[in-house]
Amino acid sequence: MHKKVIFQVLCLSLLNNRFNSYYKPPKQNIAALSLTFFINFCFFMLSPSFADQPDERNLNTRRHHSASASASEISNFGKSEKSDYCVVLEFNSSEIASFSADDLDKFPRKTFECPEAGKSLCGSSLKGILSSAGIKEFKEVTISGFSKGRMFTAEITLKSEEIDENVILALSNRRTAKLASPKIPFKNWIIDVERISVK
């Protein structure tokens, strides 16, 4: 649109100048030329600006992206935030196993009351998980994940004698595990557990 308007203005100016040079006395050429340019300038300024016109290609692109985002949100509604979530188990710095949320659900369940959480917690015994991987004896276990609120990474190290049947990995509504125990202060619980390192 912008280029067309400029082309029209130039053509009209050229035609008017030709007309004025042939049919106007020489003394009137300057006044006629000035009037011609003024009319053309007004015509140009009143014409719709190219910048004010929506770019149909960009508009279609934005609509496409918006539709794609909406479809993606609908398809993911109700799904776990971490569909590929798993807990990695290491023994002496070597990865020996990994457990998905479904895997953790298969272990025997342990339950204890948690007044600070205002409810009872049920989960898989950490001791049972280690035993399933063939780990019977160990000195300490480090559980890595996030602190409450998931603002910072965190970890806690437990000695062998501190781990009993009530040290559990409980699954949240998002299907991620949290380390919990009545013997571990509530503020020190590890959520979204990612790694269990055994020595």
Displacement of CA 166 from its chain's centroid (Å): 36
Evaluate if residue 59 carries a pLDDT over 50. no
**pLDDT bracket for residue 66 (50, 70, 90):** very low
Displacement of CA 99 from its chain's centroid (Å): 25
Q: How far apart are CA 161 and CA 140, in angstroms?
A: 9
What would the pLDDT profile of 96-123 be if each residue is shown by its tens digit?
999 999 999 999 899 998 888 778 899 9
pLDDT, residue 114, reads 83
What would the pLDDT profile of 15-44 be if each residue is shown by its tens digit?
555 545 544 445 555 555 555 556 556 555
Residue ranges covered by each domain of the chain: 2-76, 86-198
Integer Rg of the chain from CA: 37
Evaluate if residue 139 carries a pLDDT over 50. yes
Q: Is the pTM of this model over 0.85?
A: no
Catalogue the E-assigned strands of the chain. 86-91, 94-100, 109-114, 119-125, 140-146, 153-159, 168-171, 177-180, 191-198
pLDDT, residue 144, reads 97
pLDDT, residue 145, reads 96
pLDDT, residue 73, reads 42
- Average pLDDT estimate for 153-174: 95
pLDDT, residue 153, reads 95
Comparing CA positions, the residue from 122, 129, 130 lying closest to residue 199 is: 130
As assigned by CATH, the class of the 86-198 domain is alpha beta
**Residues 6+ away with beta carbon under 8 Å from 52:** none
**pLDDT bracket for residue 64 (50, 70, 90):** very low
The per-residue pLDDT of the chain, averaged, comes to 75
What would the pLDDT profile of 71-84 be if each residue is shown by its tens digit?
444 344 334 344 58
